[in-house]
Every structure is written in C-alpha cells, then in structure tokens.
Amino acid sequence: MAILLDGKKTASELNETTRKRILKLKQCGIVPGLAVVIVGEDQASQRYVRNKHKLALKLGMNSVIKEVPASITEAQLLALITELNQDTTIQAILVQDPLPKHINEQRIMQSISSTKDVDGFTAVNVGQLYLNLTGNYPVACTPKGIMTLLEKYDIFLRGKKAVVIGRSAIVGKPMAALLVNAGASVSILHRYTTEIAEYTRDADLIISATGVLRLLGAEAVKPGAVIVDVGQNLDETGHLVGDVDFNAVKDKVAAITPVPGGVGPMTIATLMQQTVDLTEWGLANGK
C-alpha cells in the first residue's frame, strides 16, 4: 500500500501555524480580513464558502461573505470589488467561481487589487510566478498547497518527470510553473491530448485536475510514482472520488493523495495562510 499524502493532517498543522500568526498580529491590533464574493446559488460553491468562513473565524480572522444574486450586472460586481479593494479592514479578496455566463470572469478577476489577490489570479502575480521572481506575491492556492504537501513528505522534484493534466489558470498552469521552477521536467496535458497514458506511464509525479472519473487506472501509472489527485467527482454510488482509480493504483504507486482528505484541505489552509501573508506584506509596505 502506498504512502497516503495526508492533506487533512498537513492542513491542520498549517492552520495551527496560521492561527498563531494571527494571534501575534492581533497583539499589534491587526486582524487579517478575508472577503469572499459569491455570485448566485450554486450549492457546491455555497458549501465551499461556508467552510472557508467557518475556518477563517476559527483561526481568528475577520471573515466577510458578500452574497450577491446571479442577476448582478458586471458593472455592479466590479463596483463591489472596487469597494473591497479600498476597504482597509480587508486584506484578501476571493471571488468564488463559477460566475454566471453574462459576466466576464477574467475582467472581474483582473479588477482585484494585486495586493489583495489571495488566489494569485491577477496578471502581475501570475507573471511573477512564471518569471520565478524573488519577493512576495500570492500564488494560486491549490498548486501552492500541493507544493506544501509534497515538501512535507520530502518528495524530491529536481530532474523528475512530472505530468500535469489540466491547463486551467487556477490549477494546471500555475502548478506547471511551480514544478518547472522547482527543476522538474514538466508535461502539460489537457482536453486536446489524445494519449495521456503515454505520458503518465513514464511519470515520477502525476498531478491530475480534470474532473474525469477514473481517468487513470493501474496501467497508466508506473511503479513508485507519486500521484496528486485534484479531481472531485461523484462515483456511481454518490461518493466523492478523484480522477485516479485509487483502489486500482494504491498498491503500485509510492504515494498518493486520498480524495477526500488530500488536496482539498490543503487548498483551504493555503487560502488562510496567504490571507495572513498578504496582511503581513501589507504591513511591511506600510499599508
């Protein structure tokens, strides 16, 4: 049986560090503030946002949920972001996707102040990541959380063959950038890739973020590989599972993230961590 990359436990430790950092800030009269904007009534989104809110409060930060109806106009939503950009009690802004079709998602994301861009979505923060610049900037929470998890388990990356399946701005692309910066050889696959297994069969590390149930079985992975499963799918019995057929590969690979309890808790813990990062960086810049 492979080593389980325990996201729940690692996230819990990270949250404890975050809690202590918040305590310290509070002693100086500063309360980190996270605002989450949710548009419409998507049930999964509502659940994610509630979980974030609960954790933020538990860790001692200021958590604000801005619920707006799906009928909101783009201009109204932009105005709300501007208001949050200017609000000195808010250090981090997250807009929960998906957004309704009549709203240009990138226009909204790019309107977030880069200094409050807790998911690292604005062009200037994305650019800094790709250029591997030194200095302080936020990075998309899911890939950053995965890097924390891999470090925790001493997974060595330099010179390793990594495969990232998915090219989204939120997971695949920043994940690939982090791995390239860490010295891995990185293949980025996506919906137009016809032979995914040709890549994954040779891979030392597979990061799958497709939302395709049982995308990878035992024949698609090599013995000793490390598997990070970002997928969140419901199987035929209504259970939450990833992209990878966990039971089929678990005795072949060296390590694997469970679903649930792998990447999910790391993403939300990283969101909390980066809210505090942004708060501290703002202080360092005299804001």
With CB under 8 A as the contact rule, the residue among 62, 193, 232, 233 that binds a second copy is 193
Q: How many residues bind a second copy (CB under 8 A)?
A: 36
Report in angstroms how near the CB of residue 16 gets to a second copy at its nearest: 33
Q: Which CB, 87 or 105, lies closer to a second copy?
A: 105
Active site residues: 52, 96, 119
Q: Which CB, 18 or 142, lies closer to a second copy?
A: 142
Residue type, 266: M
Cis preceding linkage at 260, omega within 30: yes
Q: Is 167 annotated among the ligand-binding residues?
A: yes
Report in angstroms how near the CB of residue 69 gets to a second copy at its nearest: 27
Q: Is 166 annotated among the ligand-binding residues?
A: yes
Whole-angstrom distance, CA of residue 82 vs CA of residue 8:
35
By the rule CB under 8 A, 158 interacts with a second copy: yes
Single out the segment in contact with a second copy by CB under 8 A; choices: 94-102, 179-187, 204-212, 230-238.
179-187
Cis preceding linkage at 98, omega within 30: yes
Report in angstroms how near the CB of residue 225 gets to a second copy at its nearest: 16
By the rule CB under 8 A, 192 interacts with a second copy: yes
Positions 94 through 153 that interact with a second copy (CB under 8 A): 106, 110, 121-128, 130-131, 133-134
By the rule CB under 8 A, 178 interacts with a second copy: no
Closest to 270 (Cα-Cα) out of 171, 191, 164, 176: 171
Give the 3-state secondary structure of the chain.
Answer: CCEECCHHHHHHHHHHHHHHHHHHHHHCCCCCEEEEEEECCCHHHHHHHHHHHHHHHHCCCEEEEEEECCCCCHHHHHHHHHHHHHCCCCCEEEECCCCCCCCCHHHHHHHCCCCCECCCCCHHHHHHHHCCCCCCCCCCHHHHHHHHHHHHCCCCCCCCEEEEECCCCCCHHHHHHHHHHCCCEEEEECCCCCCHHHHHCCCCEEEECCCCCCCECHHHCCCCCEEEECCCEECCCCCEECCECHHHHCCCCCEECCCCCCHHHHHHHHHHHHHHHHHHHHHHCCC
Question: What is the spatial order of strands in the sheet that 92-95 belongs to?
Answer: 62-68, 33-39, 92-95
With CB under 8 A as the contact rule, the residue among 152, 167, 222, 250 that binds a second copy is 167
By the rule CB under 8 A, 180 interacts with a second copy: yes
Q: Which CB, 61 or 215, lies closer to a second copy?
A: 215
By the rule CB under 8 A, 169 interacts with a second copy: yes
By the rule CB under 8 A, 222 interacts with a second copy: no
Report in angstroms how near the CB of residue 196 gets to a second copy at its nearest: 9
Positions 1 through 40 that interact with a second copy (CB under 8 A): none
Q: Which CB, 93 or 126, lies closer to a second copy?
A: 126
Q: Is 201 annotated among the ligand-binding residues?
A: no
With CB under 8 A as the contact rule, the residue among 13, 83, 198, 219 that binds a second copy is 198
Numbered residues of the known binding site: 166-168
Q: Where does this chain bind a second copy (CB under 8 A)?
A: 106, 110, 121-128, 130-131, 133-134, 158-159, 167, 169, 173, 176-177, 180, 183-190, 192-194, 198-199, 202
